[in-house]
Homo-oligomer: A and B are copies of this chain.
Amino acid sequence: MKTADKHSKIIRAATKVFAKKGFFNARISDIAKEAKVADGTIYLYFNNKYDMLLSVFEEKIGKLVEQITTQIEKEDDPRRMLEIFIENHLREMKKNKNLAEVIQIELRQTNKIIKDYRNNKFSEYLNIISTIIKKGQSEKVFRQDILPGIAKRAIFGALDEIARIWNINIDSEYDIDETEKQVTRIFLVGVLENPQA
């Protein structure tokens, strides 16, 4: 087996185990067993347990960035772009609950001090949103008074919370299409009946 294969086998196993047990409750030996690899082998590919989490996170987010970017590039309407982002995020999280879980864990569970200096992919991911917002503003499609730095947090936070619930309640009340529409509408037009009033 080639090195790259083993590396990704471990990443896959780690994603699964971290998602299932949480970072602190996951044991290296769990991951090793899941990856069908010896415990020690893991340390040939990662420096330590936390490094694995970070790698998993970065890799998964990296793929998301790529995938969403590809789709968005084909569009020109910022409304549609935002819609695509929301759609994609929710669909990916629904499809891959482990991924949703790992995002939750990495973002909140581990030592904040260690965290900061490497989360580049995640910044990139959030910045897809703010870039859309800014484009919309320059094209006079989005309100000028929206602060993209805040909007990107609000949108990501909303999506993330919804994904969190999916991971807790196996059967949620609303289906994914409805949820997408709802979230998109809330962010595009707000909850007011007559905004002009």
Point out residues on A near B: beta carbons under 8 Å.
22, 24-25, 79, 82, 104-105, 107-112, 115-116, 133, 136, 140-147, 149-151, 153-162, 164-165, 167-168, 173-174, 178-179, 182-183, 185-193, 195
Contact = CB atoms under 8 A, between A and B. Distances in A.
Nearest to A155: B158
Contacts of A151: 182, 186, 191
Q: How many copies of this chain does the complex contain?
A: 4
A153 B165 contact: yes
A79 B109 CA distance: 35
Contact of A193 (B140, B160, B185, B192): B140
B157 A161 contact: yes
B167 A161 contact: no
Contact of A192 (B141, B159, B160): B141
Of A158, A168, A182, A185, chain B has the most CB atoms within 10 Å of the CB of: A158
Contact of A187 (B79, B111, B112, B191): B191
9 closest Cβ pairs, A-B complex: A157-B161, A190-B190, A154-B158, A24-B24, A189-B190, A157-B157, A157-B158, A189-B195, A104-B108
A22 B153 contact: no
A151 B178 CA distance: 12
Contacts of A178: 147, 150
Contact of A150 (B105, B144, B162, B192): B162
27 contacts: A22-B109, A22-B110, A22-B111, A104-B108, A115-B168, A143-B185, A143-B189, A146-B191, A149-B174, A150-B182, A153-B158, A153-B162, A153-B165, A154-B158, A154-B186, A155-B158, A157-B157, A157-B159, A158-B158, A160-B161, A161-B161, A186-B187, A186-B190, A188-B191, A189-B195, A190-B190, A195-B195
